[in-house]
Amino acid sequence: MGGGRPPAGRDPRYAAGPGGPGGPGRPGVPGADERTQALGMPSGGFRGDAPRDVRGDADGQSTEALQAGGRRRRPAGRGGRGPGGPGGPGGPGGPGGPEGPGGRGPRDPRDFDDFDEDDEKPRRTGWKRFLPSWKILVAAFTVLAVGTFGMIAVAYANTPLPKATQADAVSEGSAIYYNDGKTLIAKVGTPRVIVDDINKVPRHVQDAVIAIENRTFREDSGISIPGMVRSVWMTATGQQLQGASTITQQMARNYYDGLSQEVSIKRKFKEIFVAVKLDQEMPKNQILLTYLNTVNFGRAYGIEAAAMAYFKKHVGQLTPEQGAYLAARIQTPALDADSPQLQSRFKDVVNAMATLDPGRYGKLPGTAKFPKTVKQGNTNELGGLKGYMVVQVLQELKTRMNLPPDQVRSGGYKIISTFDKRLMQAARKAVIGTTNALPKEIHAGLAAVEPKTGRVLAFYGGEDFTKDNWNEPFDSYKQAASAFKPYVLAAWLDAGYSLNSFVPGNKTVPEELPGTKPIGNSHNVGSAINVTTATADSVNTAFASMAYKLDLDNGTVGELSAVKQIAEEAGLGKQRMEDDVKAHKYAFSIGSALVTPVEQAAGYSIFANEGKHTDYHVVKEVRKDKEVVIAERRDEKQVITPEAAADSVAAMEEVLKSGTARGKGIGRPAAGKTGTNNDNKEAWFVGFTPQISTAVGMYREQCVTKTGKIVDPINANCPETPGGKKSKKYGPNNRYSQGREISLGSGIEGATYPTTIWRNFMMEALAGKPVEQFPPKAGLGTPENIVPSPTPSPSPTPDDAGFPTDFPTDFPDDGGCYDGGPGCDSGDGLGDDQDTGGQDGGPGGDDVPLNINQAPAALPTDSGNGRSGGRGGA
């Protein structure tokens, strides 16, 4: 055949050679001319009657198909195809045997393709045949484990250690103090104090927390495997989040941003990864300290604030029992201070401490007693008087220092206010003690300012901020009335005119002032008076004419530019002053503009402080970690000359000596000005010494229902609902009553109750203080007589148009000698009339009956910008 094409159907790879009976061929393969024998059958043909599938092969020979079903089974003799006997077909040396003709020769590797373990074992039947081999299970578990741990490793590697902290975790409440920097007014915001060194926390306090929260804390890797498994399982099954986390895990969850409190497997694994990394990168003591600064203990956050809240001690002063008490609160912060459940938890902590370190705490379970805690004070930071102070401080920090309230409540600042505790109490005593017999409809506010610094030393705004949040001296804008006239006086003197100038008495000059209703007085003062007398007796016509003369000089008729400029530079609201000039023209000079008591107290500092003014403020400084981060704002400005200020003081001293407030002196140099509005709607006294400038303002607000019924106020406010009780009909959007301002009554003028309140406060505020003198009268300037010198006989006809003067009109005739007047007063400011029946109760008394029980006359209801919100005309 050599080199020729192989016969069809024969694989050319099988070369001819010695073989089986058919002739030359591959060992073990039938010759080309032989019929192919079916596998597993002896040679010699088919069995006669067994059905078979027969097909023709490529050589035209018929080939028996493999029987379907199951694998081929080799007979017991593996060497050949026939019986396995020696020399027999398939046996050694026999046909088809390894050594016989037609045999395979050495074992062919393809024989192993037919090998099956089942050849050696009985085949499994029934349900066992569905079970996988143990080898398969091992392989599957190995793949699963490797995959799982691989995914965990990748997740761990991709979980960064958080750097940002939760705002709430580091928020630290701020404390507001009186001006001594030591006496606390109130704490605001989160009650937490950050401890910066673990050594400040006693070992027994640390051990108490570790014993009950995470006994293995100092040795573990940041996680607890048993606790972790339990926690993950409970979370996966939808049950409540478990408290099995370690201290490190709790710290990570509560301190770092990005680890929420959500109940999920993802969050739990992330927390675990972060805890492990923290344990590797952060010292144990730092983890513990951060944890102790973060924990909620109920009354406070953090171990230091909690120690103060429950025991009035710093954390370094706590006993082992007190440390165990605080540790017991960690998982139960909401419990009452001595609840049975907390007491049981306390015992658990003590026992855990003994287990943790028997040498230190082994005897503690037998000796420890549940500690007594201090009574929790008023947790309302705005309750009582302190609310008025807190709100003013927060408002000033926001508007003047760009420190918003939320930042104050979380920033851990020490804020030192300008308030003097003793003077705050004196202010309350002066107002309440003087007005307690008056109708509840009458409101009074007091503010005291230090002239040289602008610091608000004291004020009285109300009794309880939580019930009445209206702060009278800061919130009540009322017409200044005659208490505004000193600004006209200051402008007059600063322009170079003297106190000796003669100004109009009974009529203004000109008689018709541009854009202004006629202005007159409530009593006859004569045609011409000097400026000192006009100030002492509060003469309207004189001051309106002085303001006009200044405008005439400046070419600003109708603008009141000189007076307005001084008022604004003295701290009165610029926009309000401008608006009032436009609306009321020369009535502005006698007090039509709206002001507050605190503005007036600070405004008069230009007289008490040699012409200089500093805006009033309530914050001295703000500290953070003992460092001053915001300093006091004290921008001083020279408003008028020192000489103009000195002569203004000389004229205003006469108010207390011989004028409208005579007999109300305080036994030392003092000056001031009364003010009473039309129909006695507002009454004022603003007075000062070199040390303190104090303003008192009063008004009356009546509560009226829609049907016209008059009802009593509740906590100084007109009730929203009948009797202040719950109502379906009435509420904030449909008030049961509204306030309207009415007359204070004929017995309440600037010279009466406001002056008495001022005097009572000043006497107590200055008690024990050195007596300071005002600068001497300068006596400078040129007399400018708007009218000729006065004639001996004044006009007998009074004119009560415009604002009234503050001179009391119901004095009895005592022969022309008024208490404290020029003919009776020794000049000591106390008055010489020793009658004890006077109303003010001070030395010398005041023989003027006040008639405070007289019913007020029916008056128009328009009001200034007080609680009712309306605004009255001039």
Q: Are 278 and 271 in contact (CB under 8 A)?
A: no
How far is it, in rounded angstroms, from Cα 730 to Cα 721?
5
pLDDT at 142 (0 to 100): 74
Locus of tokens 């030395």: 843
pLDDT at 776 (0 to 100): 97
Mean per-residue pLDDT of the chain: 79
pLDDT at 492 (0 to 100): 98
Token reading at 811: 């004095």
How far is it, in rounded angstroms, from Cα 596 to Cα 615?
14
Read off the pLDDT band of 261 (50, 70, 90).
Answer: low
Read off the pLDDT band of 282 (50, 70, 90).
Answer: confident
What contacts 149, CB < 8 A, 6 or more positions away?
none
How far is it, in rounded angstroms, from Cα 634 to Cα 615?
7
Name the burial class of residue 535, with classes exposed (0-12), middle (13-18) and buried (19+) by CB atoms within 10 angstroms of its CB.
buried
How far is it, in rounded angstroms, from Cα 660 to Cα 474?
26
CA distances from 150 to 54, 157, 268, 370, 388 (A): 57, 11, 18, 51, 63
Q: No. of H helices and E strands in the chain?
A: 25, 20
Q: Are 591 and 547 in contact (CB under 8 A)?
A: no
pLDDT at 167 (0 to 100): 79
Backbone dihedral angles phi then psi of residue 687, each to the nearest 5 degrees: -140, 165
| Amino acid symbol at 457 | L
**Percent of residues, the chain, with pLDDT higher than 90:** 60
- Residue 706 predicted with pLDDT over 50: yes
- How much of the chain is helix, strand and coil, in % rounded to 5? 35, 10, 55
> Which range in 19-28, 507-516, 518-527 is most confidently predicted, on average pLDDT?
507-516
Backbone dihedral angles phi then psi of residue 445, each to the nearest 5 degrees: -130, 145
Read off the pLDDT band of 272 (50, 70, 90).
Answer: confident
- Residue 10 predicted with pLDDT over 50: no
pLDDT at 92 (0 to 100): 46
Handedness of CA 810, 814, 820, 821 (dihedral sign): positive
DSSP-derived secondary structure for 81-150:
SS--STTSTTSTTSTTSSSSTT---SPPGGGGGG--GGGTSPPP-GGGGGSPPHHHHHHHHHHHHHHHHH
H or E segment to which residue 117 belongs: none
Token reading at 161: 């250690």
Q: Are 609 and 693 in contact (CB under 8 A)?
A: no
3-state secondary structure of 301: strand
- The b/e string for 607-617 (b: 16+ C-beta within 10 A; e otherwise) is bbbbbbbbbbb
What contacts 839, CB < 8 A, 6 or more positions away?
752, 756, 845, 846, 848, 849, 850
pLDDT at 678 (0 to 100): 86
pLDDT at 124 (0 to 100): 63
pLDDT at 222 (0 to 100): 75
The alpha helices in 33-97, defined as continuous H runs, are: none
H or E segment to which residue 92 belongs: none
Read off the pLDDT band of 57 (50, 70, 90).
Answer: very low
- Residue 433 predicted with pLDDT over 60: yes
For 340-394, how does the pLDDT look when each residue is reduced to its tens digit (9 = 90+)? Answer: 999 999 999 999 999 999 999 999 999 999 999 999 876 678 889 999 999 999 9
pLDDT at 91 (0 to 100): 46
pLDDT at 751 (0 to 100): 96
**Percent of residues, the chain, with pLDDT higher than 70:** 68
Q: State yes or no: cis peptide before 510, omega within 30 of 0.
A: yes
pLDDT greater at residue 199 or residue 746:
199
Q: Which of 598, 622, 715 is nearest to 188 (CA)?
A: 622
pLDDT at 231 (0 to 100): 57
How far is it, in rounded angstroms, from Cα 489 to Cα 22?
148
- The b/e string for 677-707 (b: 16+ C-beta within 10 A; e otherwise) is bbbbbbbbbbbbbbbbbbbbbbbbbbbbbee
For 153-175, how does the pLDDT look when each residue is reduced to its tens digit (9 = 90+)? Answer: 555 555 555 666 787 888 999 99
The alpha helices in 46-162, defined as continuous H runs, are: 134-157
How far is it, in rounded angstroms, from Cα 605 to Cα 668?
18
DSSP-derived secondary structure for 228-289:
HHHHHHHHHTT-PPPS---HHHHHHHHHBTT------HHHHHHHHHHHHHHHHHS-HHHHHH
Using alpha carbons only, give the angle 385, 391, 395 rounded to the nearest 5 degrees: 155
Strand partners, 497: 782
| Amino acid symbol at 416 | I
pLDDT at 35 (0 to 100): 37
3-state secondary structure of 176: strand
Q: How many CB atoms lie within 10 A of CB 71?
A: 9
Token reading at 124: 């499994």
| Amino acid symbol at 437 | A
Maximal CA-CA distance, the chain: 175
DSSP 467: T
- The b/e string for 645-672 (b: 16+ C-beta within 10 A; e otherwise) is bbbbbbbbbbbbbbbbbbbbbbebbbbb
- Residue 39 predicted with pLDDT over 50: no
Q: Which of 669, 618, 653 is nearest to 771 (CA)?
A: 669
The alpha helices in 312-448, defined as continuous H runs, are: 320-329, 340-356, 358-361, 364-367, 386-401, 405-410, 421-435
Read off the pLDDT band of 123 (50, 70, 90).
Answer: low
What contacts 660, CB < 8 A, 6 or more positions away?
536, 537, 538, 674, 750, 751, 805, 806, 807, 808
- Residue 606 predicted with pLDDT over 50: yes
H or E segment to which residue 295 belongs: none
How far is it, in rounded angstroms, from Cα 791 to Cα 493?
25
| Long-range pairs, 130-135, Cβ under 8 A, ≥24 | none
Count of residues in the chain: 874
Token reading at 805: 């003067």
Read off the pLDDT band of 789 (50, 70, 90).
Answer: confident
Name the burial class of residue 6, with classes exposed (0-12), middle (13-18) and buried (19+) by CB atoms within 10 angstroms of its CB.
middle
- Across 514-522, average pLDDT: 93
| Amino acid symbol at 652 | M
Q: Are 822 and 811 in contact (CB under 8 A)?
A: no
Read off the pLDDT band of 630 (50, 70, 90).
Answer: very high
Name the burial class of residue 871, with classes exposed (0-12), middle (13-18) and buried (19+) by CB atoms within 10 angstroms of its CB.
middle
Read off the pLDDT band of 647 (50, 70, 90).
Answer: very high
For 540-599, how does the pLDDT look when each residue is reduced to its tens digit (9 = 90+)? Answer: 999 999 999 999 999 999 999 999 999 999 999 999 999 999 999 999 999 999 999 999
DSSP 722: G
How far is it, in rounded angstroms, from Cα 533 to Cα 542?
10
The dihedral over CA atoms of 205, 207, 210, 216, expressed in degrees to the nearest 10, equals: 160
Strand partners, 479: 594
pLDDT greater at residue 44 or residue 620:
620
- Across 18-47, average pLDDT: 40
Q: How many CB atoms lie within 10 A of CB 317?
A: 11
What contacts 492, CB < 8 A, 6 or more positions away?
501, 531, 546, 550
| Gyration radius (Cα) of the chain, Å | 51
Q: Which of 382, 370, 378, 386 is nearest to 311 (CA)?
A: 370
Q: Which of 30, 117, 34 is nearest to 81 (CA)?
A: 30
pLDDT at 865 (0 to 100): 52
pLDDT at 56 (0 to 100): 40
For 721-733, how does the pLDDT look when each residue is reduced to its tens digit (9 = 90+)? Answer: 999 999 999 999 9
Instruction: Evaluate if pTM is beyond 0.75.
Output: no
